[in-house]
Amino acid sequence: NKCWVVIPAAGVGARMQADRPKQYLPLVGKTVIEHTLACFLEHPAVVGIVVAISEGDPYWAELTATTLSEWENVYTAPGGRERADSVLNALDYLANTLQVNADTSVLVHDAARPCLSRPDVDKLLAEGMEETAGAILAVPVRDTMKRAQLDTQRIAHTEERNGLWHALTPQMARLGVLQDALTHALQMGLSVTDEASALEQFGLHPILVEGDARNIKITRPADLALATFFLMEAAN
Ligand code: C5P
């Protein structure tokens, strides 16, 4: 049971207020994206990885010429305007250029999530491989969730917390289904902040696989300190 991995890495990371996109910031001796890739590079189920990169991105070129140069199964696709466009470009590259079969499982994982653990990848693969509707890593919400009134910062009501989950990545689906779902969602102008939302809008109900809450997305400066702690902890 094999799969492919797609890494959207074409964002600018404006909220980090750094001098370069967040996936290239230094983190425990490497860049963020090298930690992210590490989990997949040596995984026996992973056939290869397609990374969506912005046009003219000098940092990726440097990595592929140096630390990533020995990996022959790492490919590059052009990034798009939104995350979903970047993912779709990478899926099209898999289907059209690499001629990967439409029934093949694909894991989509944010470049900005460097603390993904091997056990979580294995759990997602075990629970998601036979699942045609898809599967995602997620963690149950712990805080009380408020819905604001439209256009105000006053509380409209409290959401029922029971049954609410944070969606993480990787998110897993069959190549052909995910291409169709993302194409449909983008054509309809629907909001697609993850793969599952495109699948949902396509009438599918992916399964929630409970993952590790340490699989955070680097978004703001404090997240780097947290990721540093988690990676050091995992190394010990
Ligand atoms: O901005 P956000 O944190 O939601 O980005 C999640 C992931 O999607 C990041 O790894 C980022 O590089 C990627 N992305 C992309 N193409 C875009 C926007 C974001 O590949 N146009």
Model ipTM over 0.90: yes
Check pocket membership of 211 for ligand 1, CB cut-off 6 A. Answer: no
pLDDT tens for the chain, 236 residues long, are 899 999 999 998 888 888 999 999 999 999 999 999 999 999 999 999 999 999 989 999 999 999 999 999 999 999 999 999 999 999 999 999 999 999 999 999 999 999 999 999 999 999 999 999 999 999 999 999 999 999 999 999 999 999 999 999 999 999 999 999 999 999 999 999 999 999 999 999 999 999 999 999 999 999 999 999 999 999 98
Residue-range domain boundaries for the chain: 3-235
- Three-point CA angle 119, 124, 130, nearest 5°: 140
Mutate to test the pocket of ligand 1, among 7, 86, 218, 219 (most ligand atoms within 8 A of CB): 86
DSSP states of 171-204: EEEEHHHHHHHHHHHHHTT---SSHHHHHHHTT-
Q: In 3-state terms, what secondary structure has residue 74?
A: strand
Check pocket membership of 114 for ligand 1, CB cut-off 6 A. Answer: no
Chain centroid offset of residue 106 CA: 11
Q: What are the residues whose beta carbons fall under 8 Å from the beta carbon of 115, sequence distance 6 or more? A: 35, 214, 215, 216, 227, 230, 231, 234
- Predicted TM-score (pTM) above 0.95: yes
Whole-angstrom CA distances from 226 to 34, 65, 177 are 17, 29, 35
Looking at the structure, give the CATH architecture of the domain made up of residues 3-235: Alpha-Beta Complex (3.90)
Task: Give distance in angstroms: CA of 193 to centre of ligand 1.
Answer: 9
Q: Specify the ligand 1 atom closest to the Cα of 9.
A: 12
Q: What is the DSSP letter of 55?
A: T
Q: Specify the ligand 1 atom closest to the Cα of 80.
A: 21
Task: Give distance in angstroms: CA of 154 to centre of ligand 1.
Answer: 30
